[in-house]
Copies of this chain bind each other. A is one copy, B any other.
């Protein structure tokens, strides 16, 4: 099976794609919209993208693809613990390091370590943890990168320190995207997004009331801008149950009448 993922090789998303299907024919994509396009156009069957990190919060590019693009649904999810390693050219001395490259999320997740051990080095943003390793290895000044262990193998970097993230509760939830969502398993969740014609977030209360009355639990509430102006939001909910379960089906019908736009992103098995 061909599986697209937010690449390049050596990122956590590649690790998630391999975990989802160890025998997959992996296709790296430069952006999350490119992963969605590969699925929509039939170049791949599935695609893997991060959606939420336990420290940094939502991966907004993935939410925005679900909201603004058609032809791509959520088919499954998986959760991976995140461990950041410090790596670079062999025999680099920590006290000589001037730049630490990584994806801004990884830099944010290692902020305390950097302040304690590399306070003289400038944190510098890279477009991915893998690109950070390349940047560090080809840098003219002494530089290191923060990246997953696998990136060191791929790019021939030496690991200087392991597990340097500030918080051990560091995990990322990934979505498996496809042209269809998942059939009912009996232990499912459903992701939806909606907005209101007038910009009153208070209407969210009415939607939550509909769900509460039917004993439908929520596992996530997010908001994203509609891009129409400040203060106008899409609300994104994850609710327990499959869209084919009677209470969920009934609730979604009612929610559709309250909202100006309702999009069901997909039903899929709940991760334990």
Task: Please tell me which one of the listed residues B126, B223, B230, B232 contacts residue A221 in the complex, with CB atoms under 8 A apart.
Answer: B223
Q: Considering the complex, which residues of chain A in the window 165-209 have a beta carbon less than 8 Å from any beta carbon of chain B? A: 167, 169, 171, 173, 200-202, 204-205, 208-209
Q: Are B202 and A217 in contact (CB under 8 A)?
A: yes
Which residues of chain B are near A126, meaning CB under 8 Å? 125
Question: A39-66 CB contact bits vs B (8 Å, 1 = yes)?
Answer: 0000000000000111111001100000
Q: Are B229 and A201 in contact (CB under 8 A)?
A: no
Which residues of chain B are near A123, meaning CB under 8 Å? 127
- Chain multiplicity (copies): 2
Q: Are A212 and B221 in contact (CB under 8 A)?
A: no
Q: Are A218 and B200 in contact (CB under 8 A)?
A: yes
A108 to B225, CA, bound (A): 14
Q: Are B209 and A205 in contact (CB under 8 A)?
A: yes
Q: Considering the complex, which residues of chain A in the window 100-137 have a beta carbon less than 8 Å from any beta carbon of chain B? A: 104, 108, 123-127
Q: How many positions in chain A have a CB within 8 Å of any CB in the partner chain?
A: 46
A200 to chain B, nearest CB (A): 7
A228 at the interface (CB under 8 A from B): yes
Knowing that A169-B229, A205-B211 touch, tell me 19 more A-B residue pairs with CB under 8 angstroms: A52-B230, A54-B225, A54-B227, A54-B232, A56-B60, A57-B223, A57-B224, A57-B225, A125-B127, A200-B217, A201-B219, A202-B212, A202-B218, A204-B208, A205-B208, A205-B218, A209-B209, A219-B231, A221-B233
